[in-house]
Amino acid sequence: MTSIVSRHLFGPGPTNAYPEATEGLARPLLGHLDPAFLAIMDETCEWLRAVWGTAQNRTLPLSATGSAGMEAAFVNTVHPGDVVVVAVNGLFGQRMCEVASRCGAEVVAVQHRWGSPVDPERVVAAHPAPAIVAAVHAETSTGARSDIAALGAAVRDAGDALLLVDAVTSIAGIELLADEWGIDIGYAGTQKCLGVAPGLAPFTISERAFGRRVERPRSWYLDLGLLGGYVGDAGPGPRARTYHHTAPVAMVSSLHAALGRILEEGLDNVWARHAAAGQALQDGLEAMGLELFADAGHRLPELTTVRVPDGVDSADVRRTLLERYDIEIGAGVGEFAASVWRIGLMGPNASPDAVALVLHALGDVLGRPTSG
């Protein structure tokens, strides 16, 4: 019999799951129209509103991974020829350009140096009257955090564009206040700070954006007009469930369990825990003589990027960490594939023991012992 492999998932995601999420995943399956499941779905949507920081009725877990959330965001809101301004400061901003373009957008990409945050002034100056302005809150490819509050204010001052935000790596890890910041369309993933397996895309859309949506989008599966009935929130009027597709019941139950745990701990406490773990990791890496990659003052606590020291083989180190310690960390992305590591401390891994473990193990493999 082969033994079951167990890893410390300290890469850019997936992270290890909260124990509650694993328990939710393994429960007996329910029918997707069972009253017991519908209650779980309702509560999941309600709790998602809490982690999004929104009162938007149309907040739900889409039945696919975070990348499908990006697709849903654009396919439902881009009318042919619409100008979409995309702030690009990493891979996921780049991907937004590609996805928006496939949806028929005229894309205006505002390029930023990788590792830097998005500059609201440059983004807003890029076009006088875009239909949509899009940005990534927490760039998973670089570890940079952008100020969405400032971007939202700038976008509102400049006109009436919709604000579309990727919160895949920020949700339930750092402050996220969708309504206060003016996020009209937001998507996320479950496999980062929510501490759930990958497979769902928490999604939210404002009434304003929903009112401007594409009536019959090219995607049937991600059509928000049809999905309203699926979660029993078809807008004003009596709540009615309509069959759209079979909900991924196990994944939804798992997300439900994790959200319950997160809200019981308290969002402020969860954010503080991620902040503390990230700071301790970044301090420890610098104490080891390593250089952080993302700009100071704009570093995500939940995903730390660090430069691979000269003369060190990035892949070798990652392989040794995996083989010796069952620790996964991530490579860099694009031109930084071999010169940057990405270390994620998300969900249950935002903890002192994870910090201690990864610092010790990395110090050992690099021959730079930590003081701990």
Query: Which tokens hold the place of 163?
Result: 């604000």
Report if residue 249 touches its own copies, rule: CB under 8 A: yes
16 vs 54, beta carbon nearer its own copies: 16
60 vs 68, beta carbon nearer its own copies: 68
Considering only 328, 336, 350, 359, the residue that binds its own copies (CB under 8 A) is: 328
Strand, coil or helix: 321: helix
Q: Look at phi and psi of residue 26 and say left if phi exceeds 0, alpha if psi is from -120 to 50, else beta.
A: alpha
Q: Which range in 17-25, 53-61, 118-126, 127-135 contacts its own copies by CB under 8 A?
A: 17-25
* Contact present, 88 and 110 (Cβ < 8 Å): yes
Considering only 250, 267, 287, 356, the residue that binds its own copies (CB under 8 A) is: 250
Supply the minimum distance, in Å, between the C-beta of residue 143 and its own copies: 17
Region 134-193 residues binding its own copies, contact defined as CB under 8 A: 189, 191
Region 71-90 residues binding its own copies, contact defined as CB under 8 A: 71, 75
Report if residue 1 touches its own copies, rule: CB under 8 A: no
Compute the distance between CA of residue 116 and CA of residue 149 in angstroms, rounded to an integer: 17
Region 103-132 residues binding its own copies, contact defined as CB under 8 A: 103
List residues bridging with 165 in a β-sheet: 135, 186
Report if residue 357 touches its own copies, rule: CB under 8 A: no
Give the interface size with its own copies as a residue count (CB under 8 A): 59
Compute the distance between CA of residue 164 and CA of residue 151 in angstroms, rounded to an integer: 11
Considering only 38, 42, 50, 65, the residue that binds its own copies (CB under 8 A) is: 65
DSSP labels, 164-229: EEE-TTTTTTS---HHHHT-SEEE--SSSTT---S--EEEEE-HHHHHTS-SS-S-STT-HHHHHH
* Contact present, 5 and 336 (Cβ < 8 Å): no
Contacts with 320 (C-beta within 8 Å, 6 or more apart), sequence order: 365
Q: Which range in 91-99, 151-159, 204-212, 300-308 contacts its own copies by CB under 8 A?
A: 91-99
Report if residue 202 touches its own copies, rule: CB under 8 A: no
95 vs 273, beta carbon nearer its own copies: 95
H helix or E strand, kind and range, residue 364: helix 352-366
Binding site for its own copies (CB under 8 A): 4-7, 9, 11, 13-17, 22, 25-32, 34-36, 63-68, 70-71, 75, 95, 98-99, 102-103, 189, 191, 197-199, 216-221, 244-251, 254, 322, 328
